[in-house]
């Protein structure tokens, strides 16, 4: 029996590093609209929803024919936001794509979905090799270390692994904020209280690890430009102008 796979795009108006970034215009379209259209146009999903907390985002998505679910309460993370929204939606797998990923690659989404061909996988995500010193050391770039089966051992805003022995070549991976869950697993992990490591690092995926859930990662080499800061937005504008 084929699985019903839906995409949920959590969209919060305010962001600490770049307020209202999702409504910033990229060549005439808000960032959130470009993200929605990229996910919709991938044709990988039975349904695509934007889950938001503000009428301005709702209006932007509805103006292009998108489906919107308004959050009923405050949430600490995007994962908690989509869990509330998905309660009454019949589906098997939920893919959580951040609203600030206007250039998310179809191939990357295919790879995260493909991990569920292994029935043991409950949570899946993506990682990408990084070599730039600036990214490796930046707290805005979340790093992940994995075991030999590409299951997450730890996520951090700090440098992991730390190169104590400079003679050993270290491979660094950036965690890409695309998550996929079996529906029952999503509801389980979001029913758990925030964990200590999650609070320390401000990374919701650490709640999953601290409670014994395994996160399987697919290795990708290109995903597009995530917009986390005003500098990222300028890069995104330049990139879009170049490809057009």
pLDDT tens, residue by residue, 3-17: 999 999 998 887 766
Angstrom distance (rounded) from CA 143 to CA 140: 9
Instruction: Answer with the residue of higher pLDDT: 232 or 113.
Output: 113
Cα–Cα distance, 189 to 195 (Å, whole number): 11
Expressed as residue numbers, the domain containing 16 is 5-243
**SS3 readout for 6-75:** EEEEEECCCCCCCCCHHHCEECCEEHHHHHHHHHHHCCCCCEEEEEECCHHHHHHHHCCCCEEEECCCCC
209 vs 74, higher pLDDT = 209
Q: What is the pTM of this model?
A: 0.91
At 16 the pLDDT is 65
User: What pLDDT, on a 0 to 100 scale, did the predictor assign at position 222?
Assistant: 82
CA distance 233 to 204: 24
DSSP type of residue 203: -
Instruction: Report the alpha-carbon angle 43-44-48, nearest 5.
Output: 80
User: Quick check: 1 pLDDT over 60?
Assistant: no
Query: Comparing C-alpha atoms, which of 2, 6, 56, 1 is closest to residue 181?
Result: 6
Alpha carbon distance 99, 120 (integer Å): 28
Is the pLDDT at 51 greater than 60, yes or no? Answer: yes
Distance, CA of 146 to CA of 117 (rounded, Å)? 20
pLDDT digits (tens, 9 = 90+) for 82-120: 999 999 999 999 999 999 999 999 999 999 999 999 999
pLDDT confidence of residue 79: 87
Q: Answer whether 130's CB lies under 8 Å from 172's CB.
A: yes
pLDDT band per the 50, 70, 90 thresholds, residue 40: very high
Q: State the residue for tokens 């379209």.
A: 29
**DSSP letters of 119-134?**
TT-SEEEEEEEE--HH
pLDDT in tens, 184-230: 999 999 999 999 999 999 999 999 999 999 999 999 998 878 888 88
Q: What is the CATH number of the domain that holds 96?
A: 3.90.550.10
User: What is the band of 132 on the pLDDT scale with cuts at 50, 70, 90?
Assistant: very high
Provide the pLDDT confidence category of residue 42 given band limits of 50, 70 and 90: very high
Average pLDDT over residues 141-148: 96
Q: Write out the two tokens for 244.
A: 């057009």
């Amino acid at each position: 029996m084929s699985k019903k796979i839906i995409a949920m795009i959590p969209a919060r108006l305010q962001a600490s590093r770049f307020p209202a970034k999702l409504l910033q215009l990229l060549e005439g379209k808000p960032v959130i609209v470009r993200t929605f259209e990229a996910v919709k146009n991938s044709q990988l999903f039975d349904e695509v929803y934007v889950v938001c907390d503000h009428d301005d985002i709702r209006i932007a998505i509805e103006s292009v024919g998108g489906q919107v679910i308004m959050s009923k309460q405050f949430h600490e993370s995007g994962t908690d936001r989509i869990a509330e929204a998905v309660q009454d939606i019949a589906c098997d797998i939920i893919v959580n794509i951040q609203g600030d990923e206007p250039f998310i690659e179809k191939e990357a989404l295919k790879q995260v979905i493909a991990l569920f061909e292994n029935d043991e996988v409950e949570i899946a995500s993506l990682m990408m090799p990084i070599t730039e010193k600036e990214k490796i050391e930046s707290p805005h770039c979340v790093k992940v270390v994995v075991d030999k089966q590409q299951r997450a051992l730890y996520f951090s805003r700090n440098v992991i692994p730390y190169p104590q022995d400079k003679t050993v070549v270290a491979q660094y991976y950036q965690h890409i904020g695309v998550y996929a869950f079996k529906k029952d697993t999503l509801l389980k992990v979001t029913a758990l209280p925030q964990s200590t490591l999650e609070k320390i690092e401000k990374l919701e995926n650490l709640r999953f690890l601290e409670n014994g859930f395994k996160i399987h990662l697919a290795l990708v080499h290109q995903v597009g430009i995530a917009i986390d800061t005003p500098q990222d937005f300028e890069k995104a504008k330049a990139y879009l102008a170049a490809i057009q």
